[in-house]
Amino acid sequence: MHKSPTYDQTPEATAPLSQTWQSPPGFVSWFTHVNQRQIGYRFVVTSLIFFALAGVLALIMRLQLIAPENTLLGADFYNQLFTMHGTTMMFFFAVPAMEGLGIYLVPLMIGTRDMSFPRLNAFGYYVYLIAGVSLFVALFLGMAPAAGWFSYVPLANIAFSPGKGMDFWTSMITFIEISALAAAVELIVTILKQRAPGMTLNRMPLFVWSILVMSFMILFAMPTVMAGSVLLALDRAFDMQFFVASGGGDPLLWQHLFWFFGHPEVYIIMVPALGIISTVIATFTRKPVFGYTALVLALVATGFVSFGLWVHHMFTTGLPHLGLSFFTAAGAMIAIPSGVQVFCWIASLWGTRIRFATPMLFVLGFFAIFIIGGLTGVMVASIPFDTQVHDSYFVVAHLHYVLIGGAVFPFFAGLYYWYPKMTGRLMSERLGKWSFALIFIGTNLTFFPMHQLGLEGMPRRIYTYLEGMGWGDLNFAITLAAFVLAAGFLLTLINAVISRTRGAEAGDNPWQADTLEWAATSPPQNYNFRHLPVVNSRHPLWDEADLTRRQYVKGLRADRRELLVTTLLEAQPQSVLIMPGPSIWPFLLALVVGFGFLGFMFQPLLFVVGFALSFFAITGWLWPRKPWISTKEN
Amino acid sequence: MKRQTSRILSSLTSAARQGLPDGCGLIGLCLLSGGTAAQQGARQSTLQPASTQAQSIELLWWIMLWAGVAIFLAVMALLAWALWHGRHRESPLGLTASKNFVLLAGVAIPALVLVILVGGSLLLGRSIASTPPPDAIQVRVTGWMWWWEIEYLDSAGNVTATTANEMHVPVDRPVAIELVSGDVIHSFWVPQLQGKTDMVPGKVNSSWFVATEAGQYRGQCAEFCGLQHALMAFVVVARPEAEFNAWLAHQAEPAPTPTTDAAQQGLEVFEQSCGQCHRVRGTRAVGVIGPDLTHLASRRTLAAATLTNNQGHLAGWIGDPQRVKPGNKMPRTLLSPQDMNNLLAYLGTLE
Amino acid sequence: MSMSEVTEPQFSVDATQLSRFHGGTDAPIWWGIVGLILIEMSVVAAFVISYFYLVMVNPTWPPEGQPASELLWPTVSMVLLLVSCVTMYLAGKSVNRDRVTAFVIYTWASVALATVVLVIRWLQFQTFDFSWNDHVYGSLVWTISGFHFLHVVSAATGTSVVALLGMKKFFNSKQRIGVVVDTLYWNFVALAWIPFYLILYWAPRMTQTAGG
Ligand code: HEA
Ligand code: HEA
Ligand code: CUA
Ligand SMILES: [Cu+2]
């Protein structure tokens, strides 16, 4: 373990660089930080807080459903709960969590010092924070939206949802998409232009590939829901007629706009998770995963095909059957890239000596749970069957299996796996294994019986059901199981908190992994790498285990933030980018934009004020400092 | 033919059901105990089909379930073998072996399975979604927040009878349903008879089925439609054609004139306090906001299949509809005990 | 770790001589703006597709008694926007050749053209004989017009800042990436008017005659 680095990493030697890349201490300065690790970390932690909040909402829902005709919660509150649960889990937990991991890890994995647009990065975080906090404030004020996470019109329109709840929803959804889009652009540019010299596309770690695919999907999917929610906001605020049948509009237009985004959304969540799985499997089998090219192609194919599936959420809306059939076929087609990936991983695991550490356990759990969810997905892709189970608990079962199996399990695997890199300490294996066991058992006990409830005719989104329906026993069991599941998550939370101070020292590369982030210290220094690495293979840390043979970049200045720009395909050095430092403007811009969006709900003119103010903030942000041309430049 | 096979399959599966403990978790077999809870009274299960349409979907389900279980077990077995295999000595798959494995298990087999599945469900879907035969009974169902208006149409499309939350259909004769909405999106679903179809404002959707067994089937709104989406259900009563015709003829008639004093006074109370929302054909109560009550007393349930229809429940409902179904669109009407009694007496005559 | 083990690392890439300036596709910001444009193009596509979807579900388009709008002024706007792309292009050329004055003139000219377009559009808004809440046609016309109007405002203000910086001698043949990305965005905003112009002013004519 105690191999020496080949270059001087002592504090004296790195002080100037560290100084340059430092995030200033202090409370006010906290809002000026722009380094990718700070921002990525904040994304991850914040998303976990939203996960816990949404999870607790789910537990309260479960308490209401524990018995028939239960009167614990009123209908209105229950409706707010599942809307907030779904919205938070999808928009404020799953997507930002994956983005956060990407933001934290991608620059480390590709051997650079920061993202391309650090201030935009910070801006994206504040936008996310403001949107999430506003929604929860609305919940505590009892004005949360209550039309479900896909807010079908006309129910969500002003005539049937007159309160402020839906306004919060439309504004904050638009807002959170701004954050996601900022992150996506940034990740794409960073991945395409800042890879370490020699890291051709073909040598890029699979996790980076998955983040790249996710970002492109965000780029093409999120604008539609933004457009949709803006149109809905206009319908609500100005009595426009986009979704009003009597004015020539069409309620189904909303469904098309929403699901054109909504379906890719679920793969946006899953694609990075698949990257985590490949990473963890490679590390814990100590050999490259089989089928790098096949896995990359499968990711890309999933990305493409997912844009042709949206109508499978609308099988019962009365669209012509022939047209719908196309979407059954597309739904089946997407099972093939999933199958390819699953079997590539099985081939990789075949006959290897595996270390069954917690991350690996979560990956194995993923297999069982995700495949059940995938198979029920293929079932509901069949139109006749879907007409029976659509909007029933069968779909609730499907969506939790795929989301928990396909996103939460891999995310937790990633959390256990990268925690030592982020904090410098290992998480407790013992607590980790207990947590895994509880989560695995809890997930199955909670969500498996929902298939049966669905087949027995229990619709989703009902705050109560009659005694005579015979759904009581299973619901009782489900509610108990949900608490087992929650206990499992709680253990990981405890584990993370305790290990922060008490965990074993991790060292730079505790798992003996192959990718570049493990070449940095744990936690990484302000500047990530003292000398940017040069890469000659897909698995730099394995192929160049002999440290003296590693190659580096020299010539970047230590007295200002510089990093290397390389060519798109071959990653040849191209130029040097001078990065901006800490700044308060991104925070201020997020504030004024937030003011515009929130103000719009009460007085549309305030939006114009926000728009005007944001112009000043942007100018302040971008205004270059004198002297403009430094004579020392070359 | 198809019916035959489905019978055989479901008897096979119900045999399998008996042999298995309930809630056996994990693997997928638990689903086979499908009937148990539903057998104890609720009549809303997709696994107890009573129409040609629902039966063929159920058959599709069992086929997919078995295929799914087989695929799942096969993948898990492969995974287990993969892990088990190398526990003592590294023996990874070679490159070609891996390639063949992925191509076979990950591409070829799934492609085959999927082609069969897609083909099968397209054919089935076509037959279910095709236009109903011309001799079908025509019914128009309108979804309202949170109850169902049911109108029977003659061949010219004129309404012959209107009722609410209870639909009668003849056995072994196709029923064509026109689905519309009065406010937001609802979804018409009677699991034992037919999969759901949404009722979308500005659009006329349709569905049809042939009930093959006489009986009562429960339906429930399946698209979230606001506060009382949970309590928006209805009953379908399938009965022999002759009985159905008699029922329909009776429903088409206006309400009988009250014969007792109490009922006569009850009618006045009704026309005064309820008539702006409810209609009783043959009286001055012509409201259209709430359900048509012309033959209320002949119905099995109240408040969209939330309560069984008896005098106690009726009194409770009228006395405080908001307690039974908080947020529903019928306000509480304050009536003196005398008026209430007369009203109940009158409503009792609406056979 | 002790100092004694430290050896000199192998440096196989030297960044000292690499340029600190970016002229185009070598600049991350260039790719960033392309990303922004892709996003906005998706929004434009969402509007255009929604438009045709609504044309499809409505039996008459534009609604009964609603004449299709005049062509003249929108066409003038179209021409002015296209001309502004040329002036922006010339501005870029000038800065490449370090002709700062020409650069400043061309940029201000572009801003002026955009301002004329804004005035024309604003006057046209006054003449719309339907409101956004009359029918979905009205909602579409107002929303799309407003959307594009806001974009022209943004592009014009952004470009004014570029022009101001130009007057302060900020840009030259080396330091010109700001101009390059501003032009990129400008072209997008100007060209986005083409699909909008077609669906707002030509499509209703087609559907009107087709529908009889
Ligand atoms: C991470 C999230 C995620 C993922 C990965 C998936 C994956 C899939 N989903 Fe799912 N889905 C959701 C999240 C997800 N879904 C959510 C949230 C909803 C509900 C939204 C709402 O209404 O609130 C939903 C709803 C939903 C519906 C609409 C149901 C309804 O409302 O009526 C449909 C219909 O076709 C569907 C289909 C599929 C299919 C075909 C896949 C496929 O991609 C699955 C492919 C994977 C496999 C098949 C397993 C691995 C493959 C093999 C082992 C090879 C062998 C396999 C075969 C031979 C079949 N999904
Ligand atoms: C990533 C997505 C995600 C995740 C992880 C979950 C997780 C859970 N979901 Fe969720 N769910 C959705 C996405 C998700 N859900 C969506 C999109 C819908 C549809 C919404 C709609 O219809 O609009 C939905 C709907 C939905 C319903 C249907 C509601 C209805 O239709 O009426 C139910 C009902 O049981 C449910 C339950 C649960 C439970 C018990 C969990 C559990 O797994 C949660 C367990 C987690 C925790 C409890 C938090 C972690 C705990 C701690 C950090 C410890 C501290 C706390 C305590 C121990 C108290 N969910
Ligand atoms: Cu009507 Cu749900
Ligand atoms: Cu989908």
- pLDDT tens digits along A309-361: 999 999 999 888 777 888 888 888 899 999 999 999 999 999 888 889 999 99
Which atom of ligand 3 is nearest the CA belonging to A459?
2
How far does residue A406's CA lie from ligand 1's centre (Å)? 10
Residue A2 lies in a domain: no
A585-601 residue pLDDT tens: 999 999 999 999 888 88
**A186 inside 8 A of chain C by CB:** yes
How far does residue A262's CA lie from ligand 4's centre (Å)? 7
Shortest distance between the Cα of B335 and any Cα of chain A, in A, equals 27
Task: Find all residues with CB under 8 Å of B46, minimum gap 6, and list them.
Answer: A388, A389, A455, A456, A457, B54, B57, B58, B61, B191, B192
Residues A83/B227, Cβ–Cβ less than 8 Å: no
Ligand nearest to the CA of A330: 1
Residue A25 lies in a domain: no
pLDDT for the residue numbered A626: 60
pLDDT > 60? residue A186: yes
Residue type, A101: L
pLDDT for the residue numbered A628: 56
pLDDT > 60? residue B24: no
What residues line ligand 2, using a CB cutoff of 6 Å?
A 51-52, 55-56, 58-59, 61-62, 82-83, 85-86, 89-90, 93-94, 148-149, 396, 399-400, 403-404, 407-408, 446, 460-461, 482, 485-486, 489-490, 493
Asked whether the beta carbons of residue B86 and residue A385 sit closer than 8 angstroms, the reply is: no
pLDDT for the residue numbered A102: 97
Lowest mean pLDDT among A26-35, A269-278, C116-125: A26-35
Q: Which of A343, A351, A464 sits opposite B86 (nearest CB)?
A: A351
Residue A295 lies in a domain: yes
Neighbours of A499 (CB within 10 A): 21
Q: Which of B122, B125, B225 sits opposite A155 (nearest CB)?
A: B225
Question: Mean of the pLDDT values across residues A459-481?
Answer: 95
A219-242 residue pLDDT tens: 999 999 999 999 999 999 999 999
Q: Which residues in chain A are closer than 8 Å to C144, comparing Cβ atoms?
A: none
Asked whether the beta carbons of residue C50 and residue A193 sit closer than 8 angstroms, the reply is: no
- Ligand 3 within 6 A of CB of B221: yes
pLDDT > 80? residue C23: no
Asked whether the beta carbons of residue C11 and residue A250 sit closer than 8 angstroms, the reply is: no
pLDDT > 90? residue A419: yes
pLDDT for the residue numbered C6: 58
Q: Which residue has the higher pLDDT, A320 or A80?
A: A80
Of A272, A264, A112, A137, which Cα lies nearest the Cα of A193?
A112
Q: Domain C26-58+71-204: which CATH class?
A: mainly alpha
pLDDT for the residue numbered A25: 87
Q: Which residues in chain B are closer than 8 Å to A252, comparing Cβ atoms?
A: 200, 203
Asked whether the beta carbons of residue A117 and residue C28 sit closer than 8 angstroms, the reply is: yes
Asked whether the beta carbons of residue C20 and residue A184 sit closer than 8 angstroms, the reply is: no
Residue nearest to atom 1 of ligand 3 (CA): B186
Residue A475 lies in a domain: yes
Residue A17 lies in a domain: no
DSSP assignment letter at B257: P
Question: Mean of the pLDDT values across residues C108-123?
Answer: 96
Residue A381 lies in a domain: yes
Residue C202: C-alpha distances to residues A329, A354, C57, C206 (Å): 37, 65, 19, 6
Ligand nearest to the CA of A268: 1
Residue A312: C-alpha distances to residues A456, B121, C129 (Å): 22, 14, 40
Q: Which residues in chain A are closer than 8 Å to B61, comparing Cβ atoms?
A: 379, 385, 388, 455
Residue nearest to atom 60 of ligand 2 (CA): A58
pLDDT for the residue numbered A617: 87
Asked whether the beta carbons of residue B98 and residue A290 sit closer than 8 angstroms, the reply is: yes
Asked whether the beta carbons of residue C18 and residue A193 sit closer than 8 angstroms, the reply is: no
Which B residues in the span 215-274 are in contact with A, Cβ-Cβ below 8 Å?
218, 220-231
Question: Mean of the pLDDT values across residues C48-69?
Answer: 88
Q: How far apart are CA A188 and CA A213, in angstroms?
A: 9
**B75 inside 8 A of chain A by CB:** yes
**Can you give the pTM of this predicted structure?**
0.94
* Secondary element (H or E) of residue A295: helix A292-305
A44-66 residue pLDDT tens: 999 999 999 999 999 999 999 99
Q: How far apart are CA B9 and CA C164, in angstroms?
A: 80
Q: Which of B25, B145, B184 sits opposite A448 (nearest CB)?
A: B25
How far does residue B114's CA lie from ligand 1's centre (Å)? 14
- The chains in contact with chain C, meaning 3 or more Cβ pairs closer than 8 Å, are A
How far does residue B165's CA lie from ligand 4's centre (Å)? 33
Q: How far apart are CA A46 and CA A352, in angstroms?
A: 37
Q: Pick from A579-583, B29-33, B277-281 the range whose average pLDDT is largest.
A: B277-281
Q: How far apart are CA A242 and CA A248, in angstroms?
A: 8
Q: Which residue has the higher pLDDT, C12 or C192?
A: C192
pLDDT > 50? residue C167: yes
Q: How far apart are CA C92 and CA A456, in angstroms?
A: 68
User: Candidates A255, A396, A412: which one to mutate for ligand 2, based on the most atoms within 8 Å of Cβ?
Assistant: A396
Total domains in the fold of chain A: 1
Question: Mean of the pLDDT values across residues C87-108?
Answer: 93
pLDDT for the residue numbered A5: 56
Q: How far apart are CA A89 and CA A79, in angstroms?
A: 15
Neighbours of A633 (CB within 10 A): 11
Three-state secondary-structure class, residue A633? coil
Q: Which of C35, C53, C137 sits opposite A188 (nearest CB)?
A: C35
Tokens 């899953």 locate to A270
Question: Mean of the pLDDT values across residues A521-538?
Answer: 91
pLDDT > 80? residue B9: no
- Ligand 1 within 6 A of CB of A369: no
CATH number, domain containing residue A236: 1.20.210.10
Residues B142/B149, Cβ–Cβ less than 8 Å: yes
Domain boundaries, chain C: 26-58+71-204
- Ligand 1 within 6 A of CB of A381: yes
Phi/psi region, residue B348 (left: phi>0; alpha: psi -120 to 50; beta: rest), is: alpha
Residue A289 lies in a domain: yes
Mean of pLDDT over chain A: 92
Question: Mean of the pLDDT values across residues B135-141?
Answer: 94
Of A340, A326, A329, A109, which Cα lies nearest the Cα of A212?
A109
Q: What percent of chain B has pLDDT over 90?
A: 73
Question: Mean of the pLDDT values across residues A513-536?
Answer: 92
Q: How far apart are CA A256 and CA B199, in angstroms?
A: 16
pLDDT for the residue numbered C209: 61
- Ligand 3 within 6 A of CB of B178: no
**A253 inside 8 A of chain C by CB:** yes
A424-438 residue pLDDT tens: 999 999 999 999 999
Asked whether the beta carbons of residue A351 and residue B82 sit closer than 8 angstroms, the reply is: yes
User: Between chain A and chain C, how many beta carbons pairs sit less than 8 Å apart?
Assistant: 206
Domain that holds residue A303: 32-630
How far does residue A385's CA lie from ligand 1's centre (Å)? 14
Q: Which of C19, C36, C132 sits opposite A238 (nearest CB)?
A: C132
Question: Mean of the pLDDT values across residues B40-54?
Answer: 81
Three-state secondary-structure class, residue B175? strand
Shortest distance between the Cα of A550 and any Cα of chain C, in A, equals 7
Of A177, A169, A117, A120, which Cα lies nearest the Cα of A148?
A169
Which atom of ligand 3 is nearest the CA belonging to B225?
2
* Secondary element (H or E) of residue B112: helix B109-129
Residues A594/A175, Cβ–Cβ less than 8 Å: yes
- Ligand 3 within 6 A of CB of B183: no
- Ligand 1 within 6 A of CB of A335: yes
